[in-house]
């Protein structure tokens, strides 16, 4: 569709949504865009028109927002097996299984333990962790800095301060670095299929398959790697008591997307009364 913004109609947006709903992955034949993704995409178009309306000069004809009449309903929060957050006990059991392999100096176990810890303490998406290169990481003092390309293409630097995650990564680096020739563009995670020797870069599918095997040993049925992101969201929401803080931690542009991850905020934490009380007592 080659139209200027003022030419786009609600019917055009509706037809575009219908086209996206019908798209299927050529390999798996599964629906390519889920309702939450479609809602976020339409919301971004609406946001553009709201921005354009704010920029309009006084006296000019306002630019109509073609999304308003046909905006889809926000997806309801859900808890499927794919989306369900792990409980603390489930998370601890899974980590224990993989850490035992890492502690035995099994290089695959060291790699997978380091990767799992990054997933759990950052809430990053699968490809954001799997596609890391050597040039994307920097251990600086007590912190790990990750250079990431997020979903949507944004480049950010993310700090990881958890010592267990950093030590897990240090362990894998120490074990794998002598085994391969490295450049800045070398993948951080590699396969170790042949007597521990490194192969090609690890794929997200291979890592997810490994995680399912670990999860089975930990007594977790129907494990899905995306549950690590939901678990991160659950813990942040419980600790902060804030949807906004959880939304920022997950990197969501739309709070409705965050609501899919967090059904409810149990306790809204008090972050302000102590500061206000101090001001009342100050002279």
Last residue of a domain, one of 202, 225, 242: 202
DSSP assignment letter at 201: B
For residue 44, CA distances in Å to 176, 252, 261 come to: 42, 12, 20
163 vs 200, higher pLDDT: 163
Q: What is the pLDDT of residue 83?
A: 61
| Pairing label, strands 155-160, 137-140 | unpaired
Q: Which domain holds residue 16?
A: 5-70
Together in a domain, 140 and 179: yes
In a domain, 227, yes or no: no
Residue range 35-56: mean pLDDT, rounded: 84
Q: What is the pLDDT of residue 160?
A: 94
Token pair of 64, please? 């109509």
Look at residue 132 and tell me whether its pLDDT is greater than 60: yes
CATH number of domain containing 111:
1.10.443.10
Q: Indicate the SS3 state at residue 227.
A: helix
Q: How far apart are CA 23 and CA 282, in angstroms?
A: 62
Q: Backbone phi, then psi, for 259, in 5-degree steps?
A: -65, -25
Q: Indicate the SS3 state at residue 187.
A: strand
Look at residue 136 and tell me whether its pLDDT is greater than 90: yes
Number of structural domains in the chain: 2
- For residue 23, count other CB atoms closer than 10 A to its CB: 10
Q: How far apart are CA 50 and CA 142, in angstroms?
A: 43
Q: What is the pLDDT of residue 211?
A: 96
In a domain, 82, yes or no: no
Token pair of 5, please? 């913004």
Rounded to 10 degrees, the C-alpha dihedral 9/11/15/17 comes to 70
In a domain, 175, yes or no: yes
In a domain, 194, yes or no: yes
**Mean pLDDT of all residues in the chain?**
85
- For residue 54, count other CB atoms closer than 10 A to its CB: 7
Together in a domain, 54 and 146: no
Return the beta strands (E) in the chain as ranges: 137-140, 143-149, 155-160
Look at residue 279 and tell me whether its pLDDT is greater than 90: no
pLDDT bracket for residue 23 (50, 70, 90): confident
In a domain, 26, yes or no: yes
pTM: predicted TM-score of the whole model, two decimal places: 0.69
In a domain, 52, yes or no: yes
194 vs 107, higher pLDDT: 107
Residue range 222-246: mean pLDDT, rounded: 91
Look at residue 95 and tell me whether its pLDDT is greater than 90: yes
Together in a domain, 48 and 117: no
Q: What is the pLDDT of residue 75?
A: 64
100 vs 251, higher pLDDT: 100
Together in a domain, 40 and 109: no
Q: What is the pLDDT of residue 163?
A: 94
**Residues 150-172: tens digit of each pLDDT:** 776 778 899 999 999 999 999 99
Contact by Cβ (8 Å): 196, 215: no
Q: Indicate the SS3 state at residue 100.
A: helix
Together in a domain, 115 and 180: yes
Look at residue 228 and tell me whether its pLDDT is greater than 60: yes
């Amino acid at each position: 569709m080659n139209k200027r913004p003022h030419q786009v109609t609600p019917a055009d947006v509706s037809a575009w949504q219908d086209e996206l709903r019908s798209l299927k992955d050529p390999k798996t034949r599964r629906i390519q865009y889920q309702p939450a993704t479609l809602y976020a995409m339409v919301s971004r178009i609406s946001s553009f028109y709201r921005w354009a309306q704010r920029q309009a000069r006084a006296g000019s004809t306002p630019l109509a927002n073609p999304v308003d009449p046909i905006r889809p309903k926000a997806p309801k929060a859900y808890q499927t097996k794919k989306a369900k957050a792990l409980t603390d006990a489930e998370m601890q059991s899974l980590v224990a299984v993989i850490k035992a392999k890492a502690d035995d100096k099994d290089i695959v176990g060291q790699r997978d333990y380091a990767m799992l810890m990054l997933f759990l303490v950052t809430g990053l998406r699968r490809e954001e962790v799997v596609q890391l290169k050597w040039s994307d990481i920097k251990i600086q003092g007590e912190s790990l800095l990750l250079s990431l390309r997020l979903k949507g293409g944004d480049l950010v630097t993310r700090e990881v301060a958890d010592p267990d995650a950093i030590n897990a990564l240090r362990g894998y680096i120490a074990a794998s670095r002598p085994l391969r020739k490295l450049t800045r563009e070398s993948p951080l995670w590699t396969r170790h299929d042949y007597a521990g020797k490194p192969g090609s870069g690890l794929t997200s599918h291979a890592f997810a398959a490994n995680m399912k095997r670990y999860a089975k040993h930990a007594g977790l049925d129907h494990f899905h790697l995306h549950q690590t992101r939901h678990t991160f969201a659950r813990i942040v929401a419980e600790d902060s008591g804030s949807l906004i803080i959880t939304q920022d931690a997950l990197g969501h542009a739309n709070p409705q997307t965050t609501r899919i991850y967090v059904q409810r905020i149990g306790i809204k934490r008090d972050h302000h009364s102590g500061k206000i009380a101090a001001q009342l007592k100050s002279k």
